[in-house]
Structure 1
Amino acid sequence: MAEPVEFTAENPWRDREVHFDIGNKLIALTRGEFVIDHLDQVEDTKGNNGISGTLTVTNLRLIWTNKKRSNINLSIGLRNVVSIQVKPVESKLLGNVKALWIMCKHKQSKYQFIFTHLVPGSPRLFTTVPAVHRAYASSTLYRDVKIRAPALIRDGAIEPLPQEEVYDALEGVSNLSGEKGELGRFIVTNIRFIWYSEQNPLYNVSCPYYTVSHIGGRQSKFGSAVVVKLAGAAGALNLGFRCDPPKRMAKLLKMMQRLHRVYHITPLLGIEAEVEEQPTEDLMPENVPDDDVEIVQQDKVDTMAAYFSSDSSGTTGRDPVFSAELGLAIEPLPAGVSLQDLWRVQ
């Protein structure tokens, strides 16, 4: 089966990873990402208490940047956010004030971030961030692979998403994930493709192009097949489908590759938001001292350690492991951190 021109999409990491002090190219917005709100005079109270910066809220993540040193920054994917609370905190710039506490999880590590808006009386930090996170959490079909989703098929048809257009629906397409392959219905839209078994609609998969790295043709034990490779941030799995005759499958492959390529020019990520314009005087801080402090450069482990967090019970929820180096049981270390690194944390 002839394969059209190859196309590999960018790894969709921005909404599902937490990063510290990354370069400008990674801080820059990607295609489909847009700014929902931009708040000046926001203190990163947990890791940079006493230092003012800017908090940019996008449809994929939260970006905090030190206003004097742009290489000191945070990128927090909305998918990593576990909880958001408003609680008091001690700020070096404003004293005891209410702040936004954000609990996050990335891989095996938990992080806590605390942001304080240095504009007295402004509710924007407390309203915008939770609202955007709720919108993100309620639109996962645009960005996440769903398997055996109970509400995906209703009365033999899919429930189209806002802005979703169905381009084709094919009968007799086999899902090759099992030993024998399972026949079903294959639906191709401008946002995703969906396969489900007509015998058992609960046996289904919804795969948005956002998570797809590459679509190509390959030989399998069932013969020629359409193979969908998911991006690393989505698990790096392969999904296989086939149908007869070969010309029909070649047409399906070409259509999927074209829609995949077009989608990544202007991705539809499922979040639409508008923020009302704020009067200029409302954005000016009152009686906030100039944070003219010396910034000591820290290594990556020191930076991450400032945000490490335990759960409410004081534990991380992970079983202890034996450390041959210490000769005793310890809490599992976060990814990329060694015992030597912990001794160096200041």
Structure 2
Amino acid sequence: MADSLWEDKDVRFDIPSRHLTMRLGEKTLDVINSVEDTKGNMGDNGRLVVTNLRLIWHSLTSSKISLSIGWNCILQMIQKSINTRQHGESDMIQLLAKTTDMKFEFIFTNLMPKSLKDLSSVISVHKSYMSSKLYRELKLRGALLNGRQLKVLPLEKVISYVNGVWNLSNNQGTLGAFIITNVRLVWVSDTKDQFNISIPYLQIIRIKARESKFGRALVVECSECSGGYVLGFRIDPKERLEQVLEELSSLLVSYSRRPNYGVEFIKESTEGKQKELTKDDYFKSEFGSEDIDSVEEDKFSNAYSAYLADGHATGKSREPIYSKELGLAIEKPPDGFTLKSLWEVIPSKES
């Protein structure tokens, strides 16, 4: 499950509708109409969709233009208030995001007055995502306990405790206990609180019992994106091991049907404000699904290069030119940009 989860770990441009609809466990937390993608599609009215895994922007005028920005890619987020002649005080959010080998900058401007709708939900959901990593990431030797009690996560429920569990790592056994919850499997040492492991069900590929040099063991295989660990535990007697295996297998199946990514957000009442869409198929309601699916996968829009934080995609420097404003040589700005527009985040008003 975890190895196929890309929504929170990638930045994608102009993707087909099947990648814009919600995957299992993904929830639409807020929908903000009348938002402009100022850097890549200035002047194009769009909709910003906040989910528990990512931030989506899509154009309301062209079904082929969209952005999907995973929360885990975001390095920096700045929210500002701006004044416009048409709408008065409005919100703007500037994002710096990073994938494996590229950095991108995005600027979203709310075209509605701040009194009717702001972009604060984007900040709140990102904070919730960053503070809930134990729901999604394997953790070794973490501060998991308070005394001898597990620090329970906000949406977590402890299902059972299993004492007398031997951790078989490093070719030796260390005695400890399982703490089994609705979102993860935790093992803690009986003698050292810092010797522990927290394994979210999201990162478990399979759980099984097999023979080892320590006898019959419970084996937990983890996803490649979490390190590809294969962890062995011994529980005596064998009947008890089988009971634990059955319980964990059942919880893993239940979790896979309704994944819990741990991101919480309580939306303020929108009474008297803009009407928001909460259906996961809002894209199909706005455009025909046939139009959206016709967008070829892995094709970027013409505005793709505009989002690059370093200004180019190849990693090579552009040709140098002489700048009269600075009195020195600089890289030639991208097409459609001036030195002034690149320097200013918010364009200054013309007198």
Cα offset for 1:308?
2.0
Shift of the 240–104 alpha-carbon distance from structure 1 to 2, 3 Å rule, reads farther
TM-score of the pair, normalised by structure 2: 0.73
Instruction: Give the superposition deviation at 1:220.
Output: 4.2
Aligned-residue offset at 1:188: 0.9
1:309 is aligned to 2:309: yes
Q: Write the distance in 2 (CA, Å) between the matches of 1:234 and 1:254.
A: 24
Q: What is the match of residue 158 of structure 2?
A: 166
Structure 1 residues 124 and 198, CA gap change in structure 2 (3 angstroms): farther
Residue 155 (1) aligns with residue 147 (2): yes
Determine whether 1:238 maps to 2:230: yes
**63, 75, 84: which one pairs with 2:77?**
84
Q: Structure 1 128/215 Cα, relative in aligned 2: closer, same or farther at 3 Å?
A: same
Q: Is contact 2:156-2:181 (8 Å) kept? A: yes
Inter-CA distance 122–220: structure 2 relative to 1 (3 Å threshold): farther
Q: Contact 1:12/1:210 (CA < 8 Å) preserved in 2?
A: no
CA deviation after TM superposition for structure 1 residue 262, in Å: 0.7
Q: Name the counterpart of 2:206.
A: 214
The percentage of aligned residue pairs carrying the same residue is: 36
1:103 counterpart = 2:96: yes
Look up the match of 2:14. 21
Q: Please report the TM-score for the alignment, with normalisation by the length of structure 1.
A: 0.74
CA displacement, residues 144-185 of structure 1 (integer Å, 9 cap, x when unaligned)? 2221112x1122121222342222212222223323242211
Secondary structure in 1 matching 2:42 = coil
Which residue in 2 is equivalent to 1:273?
A: 265
Q: Which moved more, 1:227-236 or 1:52-61?
A: 227-236
Structure 2 residue aligned with 1:73 = 66
1:1-346 paired onto structure 2 within 5 Å: 11-87=4-80, 99-122=92-115, 124-150=117-143, 152-279=144-271, 299-300=299-300, 304-310=304-310
Q: Residues 269-313 of structure 1, C-alpha deviation per residue, up to 9 Å, x if partnerless?
A: 3233232343566579xxxxxxxxxxxx99438655332225xxx
Shift of 1:224: 3.5
Indicate how the Cα distance of structure 1 residues 299 and 9 shifts in structure 2: closer, same or farther if over 3 A, else same. closer
> Unaligned 5+ residue runs, structure 2?
277-295, 318-333, 336-351
Question: 1:59, 1:136 within 8 Å by CA — same for their partners in 2?
Answer: yes
Equivalences, count: 299
Cα-to-partner distance string for 1:78-125 (whole Å, 9 max, x where unaligned): 12222111358999x999975210112222322211111111335744
> Aligned-pair RMSD on alpha carbons?
3.6
In the superposition, relative to structure 1, how do residues 74 and 225 fare at CA in structure 2: closer, same or farther (>3 Å)?
farther
Deviates further, 21-30 or 254-263: 21-30
Partner of 1:336: none
Once the two structures are superposed, residues 221-252 of structure 1 have per-residue CA deviations (whole angstroms, 9 ceiling, x without a partner) of 54443332333443443333232332222221
Distance 1:223 1:69, change over 3 A: farther
